Amino acid sequence: MKNRRRVIVDCDNTYGLPGLPIDDGQTIMYLAGRDDIEIVGITCTHGNGQVSEVYDATRWLLGALGLGDIPVLKGASGPGDFETEAADWLARIIDAEPGNLDLLAIGTMTNLLAAQRKNPSCLSMLRSITAMGGYLYPLPVRGWNRIGEVNLSRDPEATAALLHASCPVTVMSAQICLQAPFGIDELAPIAESDRASYQYMLSYLLGMIRRHGGAQEYLWDLLPAVYLSHPELFHRNEVRISTDPATLSGGYLLKSETGTRINLPDYIVDIDALYAYLYAAWKRAPLKPI
């Protein structure tokens, strides 16, 4: 297909690891099922698990999707870990294709700062950056634990670098993600096309119910992925956001007249269409035994 978006995914995928989040993996599966998107490569970062776990889980998932030829690069193990193959690859490929690559940032942001240190203009050479993370105010309590923010807060210096990029930057906050639940009811259509995915996601959801008493998760990382092809599903909301490290270290997206300008969508325009696109893509990209 002509005019496919060439997308780099920077993530902390732990799909397939017992008890750990599945949304990065669901996102990779969604992108794999889109005929208007080409996954150029996946860079792995710390977050949901250790970077070695993320790397192994991502290699396994791509193999199960029949996409084992997509490059997977091991990145940062924590803030300040800049000398990685992921950083080298990001700096090199962005420089080679200025204005042609979209970055989907759905983990902690250390790899992006590491790449920028090697090539100071690389983030601004991207076609766009679409990220998931941050909240406008603390999330509701799940069981006895308040849901914490991890993507933006774990490396505020790296988050600031992303927000300052001069290419278009869109961030999906936790608040808009709460508009897209993913529970037993939303899982049901997957059973018709991909039993392996259905059984694994069901096991994860049942585990969440046992641990936290809640009957659902949310499509955290899926929203920025859907935005790449269907921005019309999200209400555009241009704001200025503070890049003060103290604010970002708390995971907050604080509006500021002197902050950097980003698009911070505040609601989903058509939730039914969003789910329809997800199910269609997942149906085209079922897991294969490996």
Indicate the length of the chain as a whole number: 290
Which segments within 100-154 are labelled E, that is strand?
Answer: 101-105, 128-132, 141-142, 145-146
Q: What is the pLDDT of residue 137?
A: 86
Q: What is the pLDDT of residues 222-260, one digit of tens each?
A: 999 999 999 999 999 999 999 999 999 999 999 999 999
The CA-atom distances, in angstroms, between 52 and each of 44, 110, 143, 159, 221 are: 8, 15, 30, 22, 20
pLDDT band at 2 (very low <50, low <70, confident <90, very high): low
Alpha-carbon dihedral angle through residues 201, 202, 208, 210, given to the nearest 10 degrees: -160
Cβ neighbour number for residue 98 with a 10 Å cutoff? 13
Q: Which domains does the chain have, with CATH numbers?
A: 5-180+219-267 (3.90.245.10), 182-218 (no CATH)
Q: Which two tokens stand for residue 2?
A: 């002509």
Q: Is the Cβ–Cβ distance between 29 and 285 less than 8 Å?
A: yes
Query: Which 8-state DSSP code applies to residue 149?
Result: P
As a whole number, mean pLDDT of residues 96-104 equals: 98
pLDDT for position 289:
78
Q: Residue 108: what pLDDT? A: 97
Residue 185 above 90 pLDDT? yes
Mean pLDDT across 81-95: 98
Residues 6 or more apart in contact with residue 19 via CB below 8 angstroms: 204, 207
pLDDT band at 9 (very low <50, low <70, confident <90, very high): very high
Mean pLDDT of the chain: 94
Determine the Cα–Cα distance for residues 153 and 155; give it in Å rounded to an integer.
6
pLDDT tens-digit readout, 104-161: 999 999 999 999 999 999 999 999 999 999 999 877 755 545 567 889 999 999 999 9
